[in-house]
Structure formats: structure tokens, C-alpha cells
Amino acid sequence: MDRIERIARWSRRLRGVLFVVALVLPLAHVAFWVWMGALPQSLVARALPGSVVLPLPVGARALGGMVALLPVAAAVYGLLVLQRLFGLYAQGMIFTPQNVACFRQLATALLWWAGLGFLQTPLLSMALSLHLPAGHRVIELALTTPDVTALLLGLVLRVAVWVMEEGCELHTDHSLTI
């Protein structure tokens, strides 16, 4: 089996996995916020800003779930872009402008994920403390390792896209040379 066939076979498999993850991720997120009260408080506390007082009223959970869905949306967008990219690979399309566009969109998804991840903590802490009396409401800030990692990967991928654009042009020029 040649390399292109192997790439195509694994790309079809990965495409299916990415589709399932893109479906399950938001569903698991919603399930967490809906059934938060039935989960062990130690598990719930790890997923929330440090100042949150448990248990949370339904309205606070609904608002918090919507706020926390923002970075999940960016992640799902990135997964769908990856699914499209592996679809191209499954068709044997390796050095094409469509591939470069997928990588550009993936870089954008990572940058959005980093930005929304950074905004999530202050918005979430505010949303989950709105039901508390004045003087007990909180706004927290946090810069987490996943936020910094997504930011750096997005920036690196953005530069890699420029390199890929050059490579794509060279590939096109080479294929047109007799």
C-alpha cells in the first residue's frame, strides 16, 4: 500500500472520530450543567471558578452553562475544520489551496478558543454569583495553561499557513513544469 492510500484510510477513520467528538463535546457540556446537582461536588468544584458557592440555583446554572459554552463552540468549530481537512486527505488532496484554507481556519479556531477561554473565567464567575446578595458577587481573572497553549499553537499555525501557501504555490508551479 502506498503512502497516499494509507493517508486516505487513516483520514477517513479520523474524520469519523472527529465527527463523534464534535457531537459529544457540546452534549456532555450541556449534560454537566443540567445534572450538576447530581454529580459529586468535588468534581463540580474542579470545573468552576474557585469562588463559586455550591449548590447553584437553576438560573445560575443555565447562565453559567451558556457562558461556558463559548469556548466549547470554538473547539467544535476547530473539530469540524479538522474533519473537513481529513476529508480532503481522504480524497487524496494533499497540497491544495483548500488544505491551506483549513489550516488557516484551524489557526483562527485556536485563537478564538484561547480568547474565549480567557474570558470564560470572569464571565462565569460573574454569572454564577449574580444570585448572591450585593457585596458577595465576584469577578475572577485567570490565565490558564490551556489558554496560553491554544494561543501559542494558533500563532504558530498562522505562520505555518504562510509557509504552506508558499509550498502550495511551489507544488502548483512544479506540476505545471514540463
Residue 52 DSSP SS3: coil
User: 34-43, 111-120, 156-165: which range is least confident on average?
Assistant: 34-43
Question: What is the predicted pLDDT for the residue at 178?
Answer: 62
Cα separation, 81 vs 95, in Å, equals 16
Q: CA gyration radius for the chain?
A: 21
- pLDDT of residue 167 exceeding 70, the answer is yes
- DSSP letter, residue 38: G
Cα separation, 112 vs 171, in Å, equals 31
What's the whole-number mean pLDDT along residues 46-60?
86
All three cell numbers of 34, joined, read 443540567
Cα separation, 14 vs 12, in Å, equals 6
pTM: 0.89
Q: Model confidence over 2-17: pLDDT tens digits?
A: 998 999 999 999 999 9
Tell me the percentage of the chain whose pLDDT exceeds 90.
70
At 4, which amino acid appears? I
- pLDDT of residue 53 exceeding 90, the answer is no
At 131, which amino acid appears? H
Q: Model confidence over 139-149: pLDDT tens digits?
A: 998 899 999 99
Residue 163 DSSP SS3: helix
